[in-house]
Amino acid sequence: MTVSAIQPGYQIIEQSSQMAEEAAHEIHQAQVTNPIEKDDSYQFNKVEFKLPDSSHIEPIVKLTQAEKYSKVGTNVLQRDQEMIGTLLDVHV
């Protein structure tokens, strides 16, 4: 019976890639539907604090999650390779 973490590692990386693509698509759609309006509110000494558009918050969270999943998947693959290396050292 072989036990390998390669397949789950690649699945995690694939899932992170899909999440990143979905988030990028959502951000693009929000930009297309809500173009940035040009105004004079950024003149010298006239800075206004504006809250981020609520349509951008969730895609940004998805991008952050995708980054974390990608790191996890990569870590799983690295640990699998390290384990194979130690097993080869033991058998030689």
The helix or strand, by DSSP H or E, that contains position 44, with its residue range, turns out to be: none
The model scores a pTM over 0.85: no
Mean pLDDT of all residues in 57-78: 90
Give the Cα separation of 36 and 15 in Å (integer).
Answer: 31
Single out the residue of 52, 21, 48 nearest to residue 34, CA to CA: 52
DSSP state of 43: S
Give the Cα separation of 13 and 78 in Å (integer).
Answer: 13
Residue 40's pLDDT is 59
Give the Cα separation of 4 and 35 in Å (integer).
Answer: 48
Single out the residue of 68, 15, 87 nearest to residue 7, CA to CA: 15
Confidence label for 66 from pLDDT (cuts 50, 70 and 90): very high
Q: Which residue has the higher pLDDT, 12 or 36?
A: 12
